[in-house]
Amino acid sequence: MTLCTDSQRQLEKSKQMVMDLEAELKEIQKASGRLRNLTQTTEEEGDRIFTELLSFIRTSHTEMITLVQSQMTTELNRIQGHLVDLEQEISKLKRKQSEVEHLSHTDDHIYFLQEVQSRWPTCNDFQSLTTNPQFSFGEVIKSLSSLTGHIKDIWRQETTRIFSAVTAEKILLPQEPKTREDFIQFLVPLSLDPNTVHRNLRLTEQNQAVACSIEPQSYPEHPDRFEWWAQVLSKEGLTGRCYWEVVWSGLYGVDLAVSYKDINRTGQGDDSGFGYNRYSWSLDCSIFRYALVHNNEETEISVPLSRRIGVYLDHRAGQLSFYSVSDTMILLHKVQTRFTQPLYPGFGLFQGSTAKIGQPQEGGSTQVVDRLKNNKTCINHRCLRTVMKSNKCLRFGKRGASSPK
């Protein structure tokens, strides 16, 4: 009977494997057609953009030539007008000069002086001009050369970025692991960075664990340290495929986050708190609920409470997944985006909370319990996050802690 059951199970397993492979075959075939369509669409859009760019350059070239020729015509007209005025003035002066020479033969000098004064005014209204020896269109050429240099620099930067974007795109990606054993293949060693930890967080277990502390710790000054938010980042920036686990405790729980390195470290604004900005993604864990928060927008997750959370990152594929780790891996939330920098795991803590980087040898069986159901007891987590910004009893403020109220 046992052999028959085992054989039946093996047969069912074999059938399932065939079905899975056939489904993968169909998906890959669809991907091939989709790739061709996307390639053609990209080429057509690229042709349109380059045609528009060339048209813009030609138009700008025509406008520049027209402007230079227009200025040349204006200056030539001024030259021609002044030449006419000069010729007329010269003719007039020569005529007067001839008259004066004729009068100079008279013996009546008084008459001669009177006639000269009347015919030859002492004030000449004619405006003389001189040529500008510095005149040239050199500034035009200089500006065009500078513009060309800037365009080449931008062009090189953008084409490098385009090349990287094209080569980074992969239509076939490795499947996300399914079992804990699969995930542990991508386990990465992590340690918390003492240069980033808030003064009211205490690092223990060789920087593998962190807890809130009423008494400020004597950490040295460092520009990477979080000054207001009770947060800490890991030393390691992650790319590629990575997995790590976190064990947490505390009534108000912890924020399990990943963040770009350039997240702000000072002040109590949104640009410093995990999940409140575009630089970080945070899974807020408490005994009341889970919520995924990014760019100040949150998605509530209704699942049973688990104290061990697994985090899987596929940086190239733009996937970030959070799992409840017990006898099975329960997906809590998956983020699909495009990551542009290495990601640093981090923790945000409340008073009474702890977080520890889990070790695989500790096992994955963790107690899963129902959450509190009494609405009078439960705290709205969104309100908690809002109050937490200004209430030092929940999140410690800059330079130290305030006693719980």
The residue count for the chain: 405
CB 332 within 8 A of CB 291: no
Q: What is the mean pLDDT of the chain?
A: 82
Which has the closest alpha carbon to 395: 187, 257, 193, 227? 227
Instruction: Say which residue, 398 or 242, is predicted with more confidence.
Output: 242
176 pLDDT above the threshold of 90: no
CB atoms within 10 A of CB 122: 5
| Rounded average pLDDT over 330-346 | 94
Q: Which two tokens stand for residue 156?
A: 């090189």
User: pLDDT value at position 59?
Assistant: 93
296, amino acid identity? N
| Rounded average pLDDT over 94-122 | 72
For 174, left (φ over 0), alpha (ψ -120 to 50), or beta? beta
- Helix pair angle (2-103, 138-168), 10° resolution: 180
Least confident of 7-11, 103-107, 156-160, 192-196: 103-107
Q: Say which residue the tokens 């997944």 belong to.
A: 321
How many angstroms separate the CA atoms of 60 and 151, rounded? 14
42 pLDDT above the threshold of 70: yes
233 pLDDT above the threshold of 90: yes
Question: Which helix (H) or strand (E) is 333 found in, with range?
Answer: strand 329-336
CB atoms within 10 A of CB 256: 23
User: pLDDT value at position 258?
Assistant: 97
Q: Which two tokens stand for residue 208?
A: 């593998």
